[in-house]
Structures are given as structure tokens and as C-alpha cells.
């Protein structure tokens, strides 16, 4: 008994040391990468303040351009994730980053709606593999019991991107006329360039799998490789392991619909918030600072939410409660009569939208393995983005042109988030019908 207890203590210490080491090595770097990824896809919200007039876009046309990004994103999502699994994260992620950095900077030279649509589409193709690829990559390195917190840390990059990027974008918009360029052109050029540099660095910094990690001690590599192999074997025996297994699994469809609601909220705030806040008369720099407040709130709360999800081992209700809070926040934002009420509503919405994602993305890797995990994660991301990322911005833009304000659009987003909360709440019952109960690995709580 004492020998067993002693071995368990040694294993627990080893696990703690390994998780701490890989967290310090991997997590800060991928946060920076996702920061740039998210910034490059939503900085169009600031650019649209003056770009729309300069190149002749209505709000509805701008919404189409913002949303068409996700058409390319959907087309390339699953093939890109399967390519990452085949060629390795180091090569694939670095290539994607260089390409989308070039395309993002090139957006500075659009001259009308069609060039805007075209560049947004190919930017979506380039960025498609990054987010689902990183989610898959984390499943290679972190045991399931640590994954929600690590995913939460990674996903702080989205609100951080808005929090830090908003004042920067506001300042860049103020450079109108410098070197005969518009402020929105400076925005795309300056914010696209770092992505290219980080893409090159990623090639040398990332490690494909634990077996290749020379920065771990041999005993640490052996423990981590064995632990991840045991998880893969457990998922293969209790869940689905082929591509078609993921496509046919009703749990994948259900999570796709939940993710669609959170994506609708995420891009409603990411793309439209600068214009919504701007109606209260703020200048560019003040607007950037105001837009940063809801994202600061989200950064803090989503990490605590993800840690609590790991501590309790519960995923489903953490997603449902967060989505419900986001829906309420959007309702408040839509009816706001002052900047203060609007910022409070956006802060609550931002918390819910971002806090839902870490436990949500911890769920598919509990019942999918191998190529099914790669395909399932990409499918959830693609289907969720189709509804949330493509149609969400378009609907908001169209409703703005029809009604003359953003309230109807925000109410629409609120409804999608409340539906996501209900679907997430029903997930436990549905997943038990889709798979035999076999602990948390088969049926996420």
C-alpha cells in the first residue's frame, strides 16, 4: 500500500512538472499566434469606419465582405486539418501564417467591393487551418484533464486581440494621409507584417509531437508519450476513430450548432462593435479604448471559467450557462440608451461568448480519436463558422440598412446564443444515446 501511494505521489509530481513545462513552452507562443490570427480577421471592423466610404461599400456590402471570409474558411477547414496531421504542425502552421500575413497586408490595396470580397475569401482559405489545427495540436500535448484550462489560456488571445488591438487600430486609423495612404490602409499593412515574421519563427520554435521534444527530459518524454497513447487508445475503443465516424456522429452536429451561436456573437462583437460604439460620438483613439473594456473583462473571467471546468470535470453546463449569459448581454446591448449601458452589456456578452469556448472545445476530443478528431474538430469549426461567421455579419449589416440601427441585429445574435445554451444543456442526454456510457471519455459531462 505504501509503495503504491509512493508511486502515485511520484507520478503526480512528474505530471505536474511536465504539464508546467509544456505550458510554459507552448502556451505563450500559440497565444501570440492566435492574437495575430484574430486581429487579422476582425481589424476590418475598424477599417470599415472610413474604408466603406472610400471604396463605395454599403453596410450590407461590408457585411457580405466580412462574412465571405468564412466561405473560404469553411472550404479549406477540414483539408487543412488533415494536412496538419500528415505533415506536422511546425511546417503547416508556419506556412499558413506567412500566407495569411501577406494577404492581410494586401487588403490595404482593395479598390472596390469585388477586390474586397476576393481578398477576404482567400484570407479565409489561408486562416482556415489555424484554429482547429491548434485545438488538435493541444490534444497531442495535454492530457484531457488539463485541456480546458490550457484551451482557455490559448483563447484569451481573441479578447486580448480586441483589447490591445483596438487602441492600436484606433491610432493607426488616425494616420490618415501619412505617405498618401488612408488610415485603414496603414491598419492592414502594420497589423499584417508581424504575422509573416511570426510564421517564420514558428517553423523553428514549434515541436510536432512529444517524442520530438528535446526540451523535455527523457523520463518526461516517456511519461507524456505513454499518457497520450493511453488516451488515444481509450478514445478509439470508446468512441469513433475514422473520418466518416466523425461526420456521422450526431454529437459533432450538435456541437457545431452550439459553436455557431458563439461564433455569431464573437464576430458580431469583433466586427461590428467599433461601429456600434462609434454612434455615441467617440473619436478613433477613445473608441479603441472603449472597445477594449469588454475584452479586458472577458480575458480574466474566461480563464477562471476554464479552470473551474477542469476542476469539476464538467463541460456541458459550463457552456450552457456562458451562452445564456452572453444572450442576456446582447439583449442589454441592443436596448442600450447610453455608452455605459452598452459597454456593460458588451462586457457580459464578451464573457459568455469567450468563456463558453474552452469547455466546448474540450468536448470533441473526449469521444473522437485519430483522423476522426482532426476531421471532427475541423467540421465543428467549419459548420459553426458557416452560420456564425458568414451569415451573422451579413444579417447584422442587412438589418442595419433596413432599420437604421443595430438593435435588431443584436437581438438576432441574442436569440442564437440562447438557442446554443439550450442545445448545450441537452448535450449530455443526446451523447448518451450516441455512445455507450464509459466514463468521461465517452460521454462529456
Q: Are 405 and 396 in contact (CB under 8 A)?
A: no
Residue keyed to cell 479549406: 76
Q: Is residue 309 part of a domain?
A: yes
Q: What is the pLDDT of residues 202-248, one digit of tens each?
A: 999 999 989 999 999 999 999 999 988 888 777 665 555 566 767 77
Whole-number pLDDT of residue 167: 87
Tell me the C-alpha to C-alpha distance, in Å, between residue 283 and each of 44, 48, 53, 170, 386.
17, 14, 17, 8, 33
Whole-number pLDDT of residue 54: 94
Q: What DSSP letter does each residue of 6-32 carry, written as one string?
A: HHHHHHHHHHHHHHHHHHHHHHHHHHH
CA atoms within 13 A on the CB side of 431: 29
Task: Indicate the number of domains in the chain.
Answer: 1
| Largest interatomic CA distance in the chain | 77
Whole-number pLDDT of residue 441: 44
Q: Is residue 342 part of a domain?
A: yes
Whole-number pLDDT of residue 438: 39
Whole-number pLDDT of residue 302: 85
Q: Is residue 445 part of a domain?
A: no
Q: Is residue 5 part of a domain?
A: no
Whole-number pLDDT of residue 234: 72
Whole-number pLDDT of residue 434: 46
Q: Is residue 430 part of a domain?
A: yes
Whole-number pLDDT of residue 236: 63
Domain containing residue 360: CATH number: 1.20.1250.20
Q: Is residue 155 part of a domain?
A: yes
Q: Is residue 73 part of a domain?
A: yes
Range of the domain at 120: 23-211+220-434
Question: pLDDT digit of tens for each residue in the chain (445 aa)?
Answer: 455 655 555 567 888 889 999 999 999 999 999 999 888 877 888 898 899 999 999 988 988 888 888 888 888 877 888 888 888 889 999 999 999 999 999 999 999 999 999 999 999 999 888 988 888 899 889 988 888 788 888 888 888 888 888 888 888 998 998 999 999 999 999 999 999 999 999 999 999 989 999 999 999 999 999 988 888 777 665 555 566 767 778 888 899 999 999 999 988 888 888 888 988 888 878 888 898 899 888 888 888 898 898 888 898 999 999 999 999 999 999 999 999 999 999 999 999 998 998 899 888 877 776 677 777 888 888 888 778 877 778 888 888 888 888 899 999 999 999 999 999 998 865 544 444 443 444 445 6
Amino acid at each position: 500500500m505504501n509503495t503504491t501511494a509512493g508511486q502515485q505521489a511520484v507520478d503526480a509530481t512528474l505530471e505536474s512538472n511536465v504539464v508546467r513545462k509544456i505550458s510554459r513552452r507552448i502556451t505563450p507562443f500559440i497565444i501570440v499566434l492566435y492574437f495575430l490570427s484574430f486581429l487579422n480577421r476582425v481589424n476590418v471592423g475598424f477599417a470599415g469606419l472610413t474604408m466603406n466610404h472610400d471604396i463605395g461599400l454599403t453596410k450590407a456590402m461590408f457585411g457580405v465582405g466580412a462574412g465571405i471570409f468564412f466561405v473560404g474558411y469553411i472550404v479549406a477547414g477540414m483539408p487543412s486539418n488533415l494536412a496538419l496531421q500528415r505533415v506536422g504542425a511546425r511546417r503547416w502552421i508556419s506556412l499558413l501564417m506567412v500566407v495569411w500575413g501577406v494577404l492581410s497586408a494586401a487588403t490595404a490595396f482593395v479598390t472596390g467591393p469585388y477586390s474586397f470580397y476576393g481578398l477576404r475569401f482567400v484570407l479565409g482559405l489561408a486562416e482556415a487551418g489555424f484554429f482547429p489545427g491548434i485545438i488538435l495540436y493541444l490534444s497531442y500535448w495535454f492530457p484531457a484533464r488539463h485541456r480546458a484550462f490550457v484551451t482557455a489560456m490559448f483563447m484569451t488571445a481573441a479578447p486580448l486581440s480586441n483589447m490591445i488591438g483596438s487602441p492600436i487600430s484606433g491610432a493607426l486609423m488616425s494616420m490618415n494621409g501619412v505617405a498618401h495612404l488612408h488610415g485603414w490602409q496603414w491598419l492592414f499593412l502594420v497589423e499584417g507584417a508581424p504575422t509573416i515574421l511570426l510564421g517564420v519563427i514558428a517553423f523553428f520554435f514549434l515541436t510536432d509531437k512529444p517524442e520530438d521534444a528535446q526540451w523535455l527530459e527523457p523520463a518526461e518524454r516517456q511519461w507524456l508519450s505513454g499518457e497520450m497513447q493511453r488516451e488515444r487508445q481509450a478514445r478509439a475503443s470508446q468512441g469513433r476513430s475514422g473520418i466518416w465516424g466523425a461526420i456521422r456522429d450526431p454529437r459533432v452536429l450538435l456541437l457545431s450548432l452550439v459553436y455557431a451561436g458563439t461564433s455569431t456573437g464573437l464576430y458580431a462583437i469583433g466586427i461590428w462593435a467599433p461601429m456600434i460604439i462609434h454612434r455615441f460620438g467617440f473619436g478613433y483613439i477613445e473608441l479603441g479604448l472603449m472597445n477594449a473594456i469588454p475584452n479586458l473583462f472577458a480575458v480574466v473571467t474566461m480563464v477562471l471559467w476554464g479552470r473551474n471546468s477542469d476542476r469539476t470535470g464538467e463541460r456541458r453546463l459550463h457552456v450552457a450557462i456562458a451562452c445564456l449569459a452572453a444572450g442576456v448581454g446582447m439583449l442589454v446591448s441592443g436596448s442600450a440608451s447610453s455608452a455605459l449601458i452598452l459597454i456593460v452589456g458588451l462586457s457580459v456578452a464578451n464573457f459568455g461568448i469567450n468563456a463558453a469556448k474552452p469547455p466546448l472545445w474540450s468536448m470533441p476530443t473526449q469521444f473522437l480519436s485519430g483522423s476522426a478528431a482532426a476531421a471532427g474538430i475541423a467540421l465543428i469549426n467549419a459548420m459553426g463558422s458557416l452560420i456564425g461567421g458568414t451569415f451573422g455579419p451579413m444579417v447584422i449589416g442587412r438589418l442595419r440598412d433596413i432599420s437604421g440601427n443595430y438593435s435588431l441585429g443584436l437581438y438576432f445574435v441574442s436569440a442564437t446564443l440562447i438557442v446554443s445554451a439550450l442545445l448545450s444543456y441537452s448535450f449530455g442526454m443526446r451523447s448518451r444515446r450516441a455512445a455507450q456510457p464509459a466514463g468521461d471519455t465517452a460521454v462529456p459531462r
